[in-house]
């Protein structure tokens, strides 16, 4: 187990080098440069040239990459060209917001998707099953931003039930020592803030969780259908165990294994979906920040931000792989 | 993967999870409406206003973007400020001023009994300290990413560290008594006084700057970055609001400055929230999460006006959309051909059709708000017959081929949809004896570069938004010198614009620019066609907000006044 863990950690190094090269060249392949984006009509050829020189864009690309790697090895992710802030500081401030949103979205997908998938399988071929199939298709095919805007129109503007933007009531004076607002509210035992933060989380989490929900539902359904016809399930039933006990102990536990895999894979989807969701809900996380950076051709932000997200993605998948052993003791790593 | 597990003991909660969800929805319904609601208190209260982005940081001398100035404008004041809703200036921290006979010195009489928000006195010493701070900037502070506006107005510094910097306009500032300063310049400069209304030249507390490292900064990967805490946590001016807190990416909270020297702000607090997405800003306003926002997308105006609880306010036009004519390309060096272009562009119908009622037809390059604007310029109403006659009088065979460029992938305040403008202009030019050859290029990175280099065809669509209320910032920028964009040499125009720039007598400046505008519209180096009016949106209960043309507004007169 330990050897496996160390090997996977070591594998991170070539992966991150590869990702850093890809990102570095990708952002430079975007047409334009920060100078043109920021200067607009004032982008005279002289000024553009001046900025290119200042940022070092006029040097050979391998020199630029080497310089980037050097600063990276010093733990320096650079400074945003657009708002002049340290990329590392910005990640520290914004990442908790994205994590909180992604976890809420995943929780939503699990809490709704697993039971729906289970019941769909139990009523295989029935109206409920067909209905769930339609819902999951809609969940996968409606773009996040369309769903997000629709949810806001219905729940924020029409019914005034839930807030439309931000993580917390803008007038709140609550302290945020960890920047994980739910955690902060629990630590400080500030229940009204907790309620407010949860209300702010609901719509973005539903919007972001819609695709994982559909996927989780389909996988659970297929998995339950698969497992409930296994010999050991039949044996359990033959022993005279109650159907609910068989479902709980024997069907669900096994059926949930593939769902666990999906969580890891969906982490990447959640991070990319966060770009759209955060933009629509003015959620101050990594997604809306990267979206603005793309428009501003803010190379340091794109490089630092995406590299960081890649690292998170790889680590989440490592954790998922390791967690198999906990869920299924028969899986061994070597 | 399907394996039997002995002792399986998963809690069967999955099937029961519907219940908490139902309870949550019920709680929401019973709990009433969403957290943020509109504040209807008549006096005091909190205004929540959305901009498009966070400020860069809050030292006005070191920023150049509108979102930063939106905040610094509330915390700081300059010696002069713009009269709300106009581009003209009025006294602020200077109660009056005089110009020296040589036109190179200004005496400012300072307001007495004014204190900075840290309790220190605003006086002649503090005012000169600010001028000297800008003038003596060194190292990273001399970079354009730090001092864009200082360099735009004052040129260079005491010790220029780069050859690209021009000689300094500033010579010295001396205190002549406790409340009087004399600012000496190295040359006559008309835009100096109007430019002093820019937030970049606001007075800041010397004590706070020194205490919180306001003069510390560095260049990181070519970008200026302040390393002290002043510009993030302790910006200290004399304005009607002071900074209470700034949560980056989320909100800036300003509170009323209770020791303000003038009429105190009516609001207790102003919260400025960055929301970069147009749709999100609109929905936040409709749901009551915010009380107002800037940069309303033209297509959203109908929806806002259709809502009884909301209203829009127009920002006076401070931009110009125009069609460049490149005289380096024959036959556009001929005046008759340029006149034919002017008569052949159906400007009125473009403005009527594609600006959602948000623009006026431009008669000249200056927006009507700026001094020097005159109605006496030659006018060129759409007249295809006259255009054809002019082309024939120039000895050309119809149709005359014209390369006409427009940008893609962009919407500017003065040009919401370039393709539509282009299509309409193209049709009207074809009816006027031209054969239009269309060209497009993406705004980034090619289009603007091509326009500036003079390689964007014979005609192209472009425009400009002003920085400060001075004609030099419009016609001086375009036609003050030879530029590849327009490709002409006209010493009469160059000279009068130079005289306008150097003249310090206000009345004489007005006369000079009026004359210059007539000359320019006779010569037709380009054809201006629209001045658009950007919109802001508010809850109807928000009263007293006066939009300024320059894009930075004052929050101190704002109050809540019911529906």
For the stretch B208-218, pLDDT in tens is: 999 999 999 98
Over residues B245-260, mean pLDDT: 93
Q: What are B269's strand-pairing partners?
A: B46, B255
The enclosing domain of B331 has a CATH number of 3.10.105.10
Q: Is B234 a domain residue?
A: no
DSSP B312-356: EEEPPP-EEEEEEE-TTSTTTTSHHHHHHHHHHS-HHHHHHHHST
Shared domain for B296 and B396, answered yes or no, is: no
Nearest CA in chain A to B444: A32
Q: Which of B168, B195, B222 is the last residue of a domain?
A: B222
And the tokens for B300?
Answer: 């959203």
Smallest Cα–Cα separation from B333: which of B516, B486, B483? B486
| pLDDT tens sequence across B437-478 | 999 888 766 788 789 889 999 999 999 988 888 999 999 989
Check whether residue B62 and residue B105 sit in a common domain. no
Is B31 in contact with A195 (Cβ distance < 8 A)? yes
Q: pLDDT confidence of B117, banded at 50, 70, 90?
A: very high
Chain A CB contacts of B1 under 8 Å are: 254, 257-258, 328
Contact A174, A190 (CB under 8 A): yes
* Residue A150 to residues A142, A200, A211, B280, Cα–Cα distance (Å): 11, 16, 16, 12
Cross-chain Cβ contact B8/A253 below 8 Å: yes
Range ranked top by mean pLDDT from A238-242, B142-146, B395-399: B395-399
Q: Please, what is the average pLDDT of chain B? A: 89
Residue A239 lies in a domain: yes
Domain that holds residue B389: 319-532
Quick check: B32 pLDDT over 60?
no
Tally of structural domains, chain B:
3
C-alpha of A242 from chain center: 39
- Minimal Cα distance from A281: which residue of B? B280
Number of inter-chain CB pairs under 8 A, A vs B: 210
Cis check for the bond before B366: say yes or no (omega within 30 of 0). Answer: no
Q: Looking at the domain assignment, is residue B54 inside a domain? A: yes
pLDDT of residue B229: 93
Q: Does A154 reside within a domain?
A: yes
Q: Which residues fall within 8 angstroms of residue A206, CB to CB, at 6 or more apart?
A: A105, A108, A147, A151
What pLDDT was estimated at residue B402? 96
Predicted pLDDT at B243: 97
- Within this chain, do residues B393 and B527 fall inside the same structural domain, yes or no? yes
Indicate if B48 and B153 belong to the same structural domain.
Answer: no
DSSP state letters, A109-153: HHHHHHHHHHHHHHTTTSHHHHHHHHHHHHHHHS-HHHHHHHHHI
Q: Has residue B193 got a pLDDT over 60?
A: yes
Looking at the 3D structure of chain A, how many domains does it have?
A: 1
Q: Does residue B227 sit within a domain?
A: no
Pick the residue from chain B with its C-alpha nearest to A197.
Answer: B35
- List the structure tokens of A2: 């330990």
Q: At residue A16, does pLDDT exceed 90?
A: no
Per-residue pLDDT tens over the stretch B347-362: 999 999 988 888 999 9
Which pLDDT value is given to residue A5?
80
**Touching check for A243 and chain B: CB below 8 Å?**
no
Using only C-alpha atoms, chain B has a radius of gyration, in whole angstroms, of 27
Residues B357, B430: one domain?
yes
B215 inside domain = yes
Do B289 and B407 sit in the same domain of this protein? no
Angle at B489 between CA B487 and CA B494, to 5 degrees: 120
User: Given a cut of 90, is residue A297 above it in pLDDT?
Assistant: no
Q: Is residue A223 part of a domain?
A: yes
Query: CATH no. for residue B131?
Result: 3.90.76.10
User: What mean pLDDT do residues B328-349 have?
Assistant: 96
Residues B35 and B165 in one domain: no
Q: Is A323 on the interface with B (CB under 8 A)?
A: no
> Of B222, B275, B279, which is closest to A55 when you measure between CB atoms?
B222
Contacts of B267 in chain A (CB under 8 A): none
Question: For B267-314, how does the pLDDT look when each residue is reduced to its tens digit (9 = 90+)?
Answer: 999 999 998 888 889 999 999 999 999 988 888 888 899 999 999 999
Tell me phi and psi for residue B550, to 5 degrees. Answer: -75, -10
Give a yes or no: residue B449 inside a domain.
Answer: yes
A165–B224 CB contact, under 8 Å: no
d(CA B318, CA B339): 25
If we measure between CA atoms, which residue out of A101, A82, A91 comes closest to residue A201? A101
Task: State how far the alpha carbon of A179 is from the alpha carbons of A20, A76, A92, B81, in Å.
Answer: 27, 22, 9, 39
B407 plus B470 within the same structural domain: yes
| Peptide bond preceding B163 in cis form (omega within 30 of 0) | no
pLDDT over 70 at B12, yes or no: no
Over residues A188-208, mean pLDDT: 94
Q: What is the rounded average pLDDT of the residues B531-544?
A: 94
B138 DSSP 8-state letter: -
Q: Tell me, what's the pLDDT at B138?
A: 95
Residue B375: phi and psi, rounded to 5, are: -85, 0
- The verdict on residue B285 lying in a domain is yes
Task: Assign residue A181 the CATH number of its domain.
Answer: 1.10.3720.10
The residue from B159, B189, B222 where one domain ends is B222
Bridge partners for B526 per DSSP: B324
CB B267 within 8 A of CB B256: yes
Percent of chain A with pLDDT over 90: 26
A67 CB neighbour count, 10 Å cutoff: 13
Q: Are B435 and B400 in contact (CB under 8 A)?
A: yes
Token pair recorded at residue B174:
């001396």
Q: Is pLDDT above 80 for B30?
A: no
Do residues B48 and B142 both lie within one domain? no
CA distance B249 to A284: 6
3-state secondary structure of B174: strand
- Residue B160, domain member (yes or no): yes
Contact B14 A200 (CB under 8 A): no
Give CA–CA dist B96/B82, Å, rounded: 14
In this structure, the answer to whether residues B335 and B299 fall within a common structural domain is no
pLDDT band at A333 (very low <50, low <70, confident <90, very high): low
- Whether B312 and B323 map to the same domain: the answer is no
Q: Report the pLDDT averaged over residues B173-186.
A: 96
Percent of chain B residues topping a pLDDT of 70: 91
pTM of the model: 0.81
Query: Under DSSP, is residue B461 helix (H, G, I), strand (E, B) or coil?
Result: strand
B6 and B109, same domain (yes or no): no
Q: Is residue B231 part of a domain?
A: no
Q: Which domain, by its residues, includes A190? A: 87-327
CATH number of the domain bearing residue B243: 3.40.190.10
Average pLDDT over residues B57-85: 93
pLDDT at A330: 67
pLDDT in tens, A17-50: 898 899 888 888 877 677 766 666 666 677 777 7
What is the structure's pLDDT at B266? 94
Q: What is the ipTM of this complex?
A: 0.72
Distance CA B199, CA B204 (A): 11
pLDDT band at B143 (very low <50, low <70, confident <90, very high): confident
């Amino acid at each position: 187990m330990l050897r496996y863990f160390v090997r996977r950690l070591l594998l991170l190094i070539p992966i991150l080098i590869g990702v850093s090269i890809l990102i570095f060249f990708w952002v430079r392949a975007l047409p334009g440069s920060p100078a043109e984006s920021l200067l607009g009509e004032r982008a005279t050829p002289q000024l553009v040239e001046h900025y290119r020189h200042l940022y070092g864009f006029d040097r050979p690309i391998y020199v630029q990459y080497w310089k980037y790697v050097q600063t990276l090895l010093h733990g320096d992710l650079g400074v945003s060209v657009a708002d002049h802030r340290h990329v590392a500081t910005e990640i520290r401030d914004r990442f908790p917001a994205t994590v909180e949103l992604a976890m809420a979205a995943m929780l939503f997908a699990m809490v709704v998707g697993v039971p729906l998938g289970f019941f769909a399988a139990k009523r295989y071929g029935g109206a409920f099953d067909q209905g769930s199939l339609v819902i999951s298709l809609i969940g996968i095919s409606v773009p996040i931003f369309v769903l997000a805007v629709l949810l806001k129109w219905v729940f924020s503007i029409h019914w005034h039930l839930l807030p439309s933007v931000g993580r917390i009531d803008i007038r709140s004076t609550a302290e945020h020592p960890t920047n994980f607002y739910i955690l902060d509210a629990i630590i400080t035992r500030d229940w009204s803030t907790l309620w407010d933060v949860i209300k702010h989380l609901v719509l973005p989490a539903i919007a972001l969780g819609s695709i994982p929900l559909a996927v989780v539902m389909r996988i659970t359904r297929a998995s339950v259908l698969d497992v409930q016809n296994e010999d050991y399930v039949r044996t359990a039933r033959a022993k005279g165990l109650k159907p609910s006990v068989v479902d709980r102990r024997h069907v669900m536990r096994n059926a949930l294994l593939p769902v666990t895999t999906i969580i890891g894979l969906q982490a990447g989807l959640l991070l990319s979906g966060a770009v759209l969701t955060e933009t629509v809900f003015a959620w101050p996380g990594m997604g809306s920040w990267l979206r603005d950076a793309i428009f501003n051709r803010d190379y340091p932000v794109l490089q630092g931000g995406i590299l960081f997200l890649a690292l998170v993605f790889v680590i989440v998948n490592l954790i998922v792989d390791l967690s198999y052993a906990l869920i299924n003791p028969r899986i061994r790593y070597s | 993967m399907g394996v039997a597990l002995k002792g399986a003991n998963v809690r069967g909660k999955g099937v029961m999870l519907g219940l908490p969800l139902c309870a949550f929805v019920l709680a929401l319904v019973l709990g009433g409406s969403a957290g943020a609601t509109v504040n209807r208190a008549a006096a005091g209260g909190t205004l929540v206003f959305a901009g498009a982005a966070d400020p860069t940081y809050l030292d006005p001398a070191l920023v150049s973007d509108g979102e930063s100035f939106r905040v610094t404008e509330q915390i700081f004041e300059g010696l002069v400020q713009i009269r709300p809703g106009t581009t003209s200036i009025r006294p602020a921290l200077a109660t009056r001023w005089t110009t020296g006979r040589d036109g190179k010195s200004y005496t400012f009489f300072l307001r007495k009994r004014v204190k900075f928000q840290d309790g220190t006195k605003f006086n002649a010493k503090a005012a000169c300290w600010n001028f000297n701070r800008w003038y003596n900037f060194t190292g990273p502070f001399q970079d354009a990413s730090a001092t864009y506006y200082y360099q735009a107005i004052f040129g260079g510094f005491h010790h220029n560290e780069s050859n690209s910097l021009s000689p300094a306009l500033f010579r010295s500032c001396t205190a002549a008594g406790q409340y009087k300063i004399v600012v000496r310049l190295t040359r006559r400069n008309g835009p100096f006084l109007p430019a002093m209304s820019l937030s970049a030249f606001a007075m800041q507390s010397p004590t706070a700057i020194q205490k919180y490292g306001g003069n510390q900064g560095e260049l990181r990967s070519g970008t200026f970055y302040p390393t002290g805490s002043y510009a993030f946590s302790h910006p200290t001016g004399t304005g009607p609001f002071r900074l209470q807190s700034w949560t980056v990416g989320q909100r800036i909270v300003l509170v009323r400055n209770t020791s303000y020297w003038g009429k105190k702000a009516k609001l207790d607090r102003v919260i400025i929230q960055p929301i970069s997405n147009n749709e999100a800003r609109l929905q936040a306003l409709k749901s009551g999460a915010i009380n107002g926002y800037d940069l309303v997308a033209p297509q959203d105006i109908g929806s806002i006006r259709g809502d009884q609880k909301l209203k829009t306010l127009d920002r006076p036009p401070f931009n110009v959309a125009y069609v460049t004519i490149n005289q380096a390309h024959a036959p556009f060096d001929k005046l008759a051909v340029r006149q034919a272009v002017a008569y052949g562009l159906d400007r009125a119908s473009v403005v009527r059709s594609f600006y959602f009622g948000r623009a006026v037809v431009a008669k000249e390059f200056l927006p009507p708000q700026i001094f020097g604007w005159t109605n006496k310029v030659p006018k060129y109403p759409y007249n295809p017959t006259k255009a054809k006659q002019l082309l024939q009088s120039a000895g050309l065979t119809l149709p005359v081929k014209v390369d006409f460029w427009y940008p893609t992938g962009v919407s500017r305040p003065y040009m919401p949809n370039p393709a539509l403008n282009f299509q309409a202009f193209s049709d009207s030019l074809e009816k006027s004896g031209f054969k239009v050859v269309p060209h497009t290029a993406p705004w980034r990175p090619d289009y603007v570069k091509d326009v500036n280099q003079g390689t964007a065809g014979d005609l192209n669509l472009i425009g400009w938004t002003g920085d400060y209320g001075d004609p030099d910032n419009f016609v001086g920028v375009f036609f003050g010198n030879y530029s590849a964009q327009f490709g002409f040499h006209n010493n009469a125009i160059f000279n009068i614009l130079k005289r306008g720039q150097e003249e310090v007598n206000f009345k004489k400046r007005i006369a000079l620019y009026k004359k210059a505008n007539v000359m320019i519209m006779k010569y037709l180096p380009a054809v201006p066609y629209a001045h658009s009016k950007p919109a802001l949106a508010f809850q109807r209960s928000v009263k007293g907000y006066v939009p300024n043309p320059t894009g930075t507004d004052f929050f101190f007169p704002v109050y809540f006044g019911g529906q």
